[in-house]
Structure 1
Amino acid sequence: MVRDAAAAAPERITLCAGADGEQLSCAQLDARTRALAAAFVERGVQAGDRVAVLGRTGVEWALVDLAALAIGAVVVPVYPTSSDAQIAHILSDSGAVCFAAETEHDAARLTAAGARTVWNFTELATWSEGDEDGELDTRIAAVRADDHAMIVYTSGTTGPAKGCILTHRNMFAAAANTVLQTGDMFGGGERGQAVTVHALPLAHVFGQTILFACLIGGTRTHLLPAIPDLVPVLPRVRPTLLALVPYALEKIRKAARGLLEADAEEEAVRQGIAILRGQTAPGQPAGPVVDLLGGRLTHVISGGASLDTTTAGFFAAFGLHILNCYGMTETATAVTVNEPRTNRLETVGRPIPGTTVAIADDGEVLIKGANVTPGYWGAAADKTPIDRDGWLHTGDIGELDTDGYLRITGRSKEILVTSGGKNVAPTPLEDRLRLHPLVSNCIVLGDGRVFICALLTLDADRWAAWRQAAGASADRDDPRLRHELQIAVDDANTLVSRAESIREYRVVDGDFTVEAGLLTSSLKLRRAAIENTYLTEIGDMYAARV
C-alpha cells in the first residue's frame, strides 16, 4: 500500500509528526520505509523474526512497523504502560529476537525484561542502508497474505495476556474493508483530502488498523503520542475524521462543558438524539464547541468499548456523528461499523464486507471472515476461540435487527447475576456514571449479591476545584459531595429497571490505573483485581443494607 501510494500520488502528504512537525509525502514515506527495511535486512532480521516495539504513537513507530512487515518480520507491540512483569511475559512468550524502543527508559525496561541489543527510535531514523544486491525486493516479494504479521497480546482482564496471531490478510481485510464500508470518509471525496489526528496507541490493534486504513484511504494523518495530547491540537489540525475510544470522547465532552452556558449540555443532548433518530433535521452548527473540534470534524469512529447514548447525542448537536464499531483483537479489531449515510443509534453497525456475523442460541456473537485470527501463539497455542464449524466465539452477547445492524448487549464474562437471578449488564451504568464531571472511573458490582452497588473514583483536578469552592474542610464524606454524586447515580439508574439499579456506592481513594494493576493496557477494568483491592469498602456497602 505504501509503494502503490507513492506511485499514484507521490507528492501527497501522508504522515505528519504531531500538529506542526515533520511531514512525509507518499514518496518520502516509501523511501524511508525501504531504507529502514534494507537496514533491518543488513542487520540480520529474518522473515518470521519477532520484533518487539515499545513506544508511544508517532512517525518513528509507524516506520518501524511498515519496514518490519515489508520484509516478513513479525511485529510484537508493547504498551508503554505495561508493567515490568507484563513486558517480561510478552518478550518471553513471543520469543522476540529484535527490539526497538522510543526512549532510553523504554530501552532499559526491555533490557531488564531480557532483551539483547535494543534499537532506539532516534537511532533507527538515521539508518539508510543501500540495497546493492537487490535482496530487499526479494524479501518483499516473498511475503504472503497468510504469513504472520503481528502477535498482539490481549488485554488479559482475567489472567496472563495471550498472544493473538494476526496475518497480513487479517490486517488488510480489516483496514481495507473499513475504508470500503465508510464511503469516501478516509479519502475525503469532493471535500479534498481527508485529515485525521491519530492518537490511539499503535500497541493496540485498533490503532494499527486505523493507521493502515488511513494509508489505504489516502488520509493525511497527524500522529500524536497519546489521547491527552488530542484536544489542544484539534483547532490547529482541523481534522475531518477521528478514530477514538469512548474514554477519549468522554474527555472531549467534559472539555466542551466549559464552553457552554448552564443547561446547554442537556439541550444539546436532546437535540442531538432527535437528529440521530431522524426526528429533527440537522442544522448548520457553529460556536465554541465546533471551534474546539476544529470546525471541519464530521465523523468519529468509536470502538474498544461501549459509548453512552447521551455522548453520541451531545456531539450530533454540533454536527459530529459518532460511528460506533465493534471488533476484538482476534478480528484485527474490525467486525462491524456504522456507515456515515446510514448511522443507526445504539448499534455498532453492519458487518464490514467479507465478514459474517451470527448470533448463537445463547446470544453469543459469532464471526467468520478474512479478518479472523488463525490462532494464538506461545503458551496459548493450544487454545482456540474458533469452533469446528469455523465460527469465532467472541464472548460478547448481542442481537441483530432485521436490517443486519448489530447491537451488543453485554459480555458473557461480565454479566452480573444477582442472588435474585436478575442478569445485569454493568457497562451502560458505568458509561453513564463516568460522564459526571467529578467521576474519573467506576465499577458496578453485584454478582451473586442481593443488589447492585458501585465504587467511584474522583477526577483529581475536578475534585480539587470542588473542594476549593466548597471549603477546605470538605472531604469525601461531605454531604454536598454525596448529593452531587447521587445525581450521577440517579441519572445512570434511569437506564435500567429497579432490580438492576445501583442501590449503594462508595468513593474510594486514588484511581483505577494500569500501574496499580486495576486497568488493562487498553484501559479496560480488571474487575477481579478491583474487587480484591476494595473488599472492605464492598463489604461495608452490603453491610449497610442488611
Structure 2
Amino acid sequence: LSGVFKGKLKAAAGFSNVKFAISGAAPINPDILSLFQDLGIPLYEGYGMTENTAGATLNYMGNNKIGSVGKAIPDTRVELAGDGEVLLKGDHVMKGYYRDEQATAKTIIDGWLHTGDVGKIDSDGYLSITGRKKEIYVSSAGKNIAPLVIEETMKSIPVISQCFLVGDARKYCSALFTLDVGAILRDKVGLEPNSIPKDPGEQLAVLKENGHELSDFTDSDDVKSEIQSEVNRLNGKFSNPEQLKTFSILPRDFTIDDGELTPTLKIRRKQINENWSDMIESMYSE
C-alpha cells in the first residue's frame, strides 16, 4: 500500500497520532495484528494480570513476533512449570490476596505467581499463551487440547460471533457456533457498516425491518456450507485431534442473561454445556 493510502486509512480509523498501542486481556487474531502492522499502525500484543500489576510480557518495535505475547518486560522473570503453566516473578507481583491466606497459598508458591495460564516459550524468549490450565480438555484418547486457541481461530470466520469447543473426554472435537448479526447485516443484507447499530438487540430489530429473521441464516444450508469451507481451511492449522469434525449453529448468540457470558463477555463453559446439552449430544449420537 502507498504511504498516502496508509495515511488515509490510519486517519479514518482514528490512529493518525498513535505512537504505539497495546492489546491484552484476551487473544487478538494474528491476521488483525498483521493488518495493523501493514498499515503502519503500531499495535502490539502483551500479557499480564492484575496479580502482577498488569504487565509481564510485551511485543514492541524491533521485537515483535505476531502470535506471541512478547518477551518478559524488565525485572520480570517468566518460566514454565512442568505442566506448561506460566509462572511469573518480580517486584511487581502481589504479596497476596487481601485477607485470603488460602487463595494466596495456592497462587504464590516459593515467590512465583502461578497464573493458571498455559503457554510455551520459544528459543528467542517469546511467550505464547495456549489456554487456561483449568480449561484444558483431555480427549478420550488422552490427548491434551487447549480450546482457547482453536476457538479464537474459528472466530476469524467473518459470520461467526462465538465459538464453543466441545471435546473433553470425547472421541473428536466439535463446536457450537453463533452468528454475528452485524456481519449478516453487512455481508448478507448489504447494509453500510456505519449504519449498523452496535447493540445486539438493535441489530436483530434492523434485521427484521429488512425482512429477515435470524433463523433465515442459522438454518441456512448455504451459510452452513460457507462456514464448513472455512472450517476445513482453518483445520489445517491444527493437529488431527484438535480439528473440528462437526459443528452446530445455534439459534441465538450467547448472552450474559442466560449465564453463558461473564460481564466481560468471556464464555462460561459449564453453563453453555448445560444450556445446549441436547445439541452437543446430537453431534456425538451417530
Aligned partner of residue 398 in structure 1, secondary structure:
strand
Instruction: Find out whether 1:430 has 2:151 as its counterpart.
Output: yes
Match of 1:250 in 2: none
Residue of structure 2 in register with 1:489 after alignment? 231
Aligned residues: 262
Aligned to 1:289: 9
Aligned to 2:240: 498
Distance in 2 (alpha carbons) for counterparts of 1:414 and 1:464: 33
* CA deviation map 1:202-259 (0-9, x unaligned): xxxxxxxxxxxxxxxxxxxxxxxxxxxxxxxxxxxxxxxxxxxxxxxxxxxxxxxxxx
> Matches of 1:507 and 1:352 in 2, distance apart?
41
Is the partner of 2:62 in helix, strand or coil? Answer: helix
Contact 1:438 1:458 in 2 (8 A): yes
The equivalent residue for 2:67 is: 346
Alpha-carbon shift at residue 450 of structure 1 (Å) = 0.7
1:321, distance to aligned residue in structure 2 (A): 3.2
- Secondary structure at 1:304's aligned position in 2? coil
Quick check: which has more Rg, 1 or 2? 1
The 3-state SS of whatever aligns with 2:284 is helix
- Runs of at least 5 residues in structure 1 that lack an aligned partner in the other structure: 1-267, 269-282
Q: Are positions 1:382 and 2:102 aligned together?
A: yes
How far did residue 403 of structure 1 move? 3.3
- Residue matched to 2:162: 441
Q: Which amino acid in 1 is paired with 2:234?
A: A
TM-score of the superposition, structure 2-length normalised?
Answer: 0.82
Structure 1 CA distance for aligned equivalents of residues 146 and 223 of structure 2:
27
1:539 paired to 2:281: yes
Structure-2 residue corresponding to 1:362: 83
Is 2:130–2:148's contact at 8 Å kept on the other side of the alignment? Answer: no
Q: Cα distance, 1:314 vs. partner?
A: 1.8
Cα deviation digits, residues 400-436 of structure 1 (max 9, x gap) = 2333322222322122211112222222221122222
**Is the CA contact (8 Å cut-off) linking 2:20 and 2:42 kept in structure 1?**
yes
- Give SS of 2:97's match: strand
Equivalent of residue 141 in structure 2, options 420, 433, 451: 420
Match of 1:511 among 253, 256, 259: 253
Deviation at 1:388, TM superposition (A): 4.2
What is the TM-score when the length of structure 1 is the normalising length? Answer: 0.45
Supply the AA of the counterpart residue of 1:324: E
Cα deviations across residues 432-461 of structure 1 (Å, max 9, x unaligned)? 222222211111110000111111111223
SS at match of 1:376: coil
Match for residue 176 of structure 2 among 443, 446, 455: 455
User: After the TM superposition, which residues 45-194 of structure 1 pair with which residues of structure 2 at under 5 Å, given as runs?
Assistant: none
Letter in 1 for 2:244: I
Q: Which has the higher helix share?
A: 1
| Superposed CA offset, 1:357-415 (max 9, x none) | 1112222111111221222235x442224444111111222222333322222322122
Q: Distance in 2 between matches of 1:448 and 1:305?
A: 26
Kindly state the Cα deviation for residue 492 of structure 1 after the two structures are TM-superposed.
Answer: 2.7
Contact 1:440 1:458 in 2 (8 A): yes
Q: Which runs of 5+ in 2 are unaligned?
A: 191-209
Cα distance between partner residues in 1 of 2:229 and 2:134:
29
The alignment yields a C-alpha RMSD, in angstroms, of 2.5
CA distance in 1, matches of 2:182, 2:259: 22
Percent of aligned pairs with the same amino acid? 36
Pairing partner for 2:38 from 317, 320, 325:
317
**Alpha carbons of 1:467 and 1:324: their partners in 2 closer, same or farther (altered >3 Å)?**
closer
- TM-superposed CA distance for 1:465, in Å, is 5.6
- State how far apart, in whole Å, the 2-side matches of 1:399 and 1:465 are: 38
Check the 8 A contact 2:34/2:66 in 1, yes or no.
no
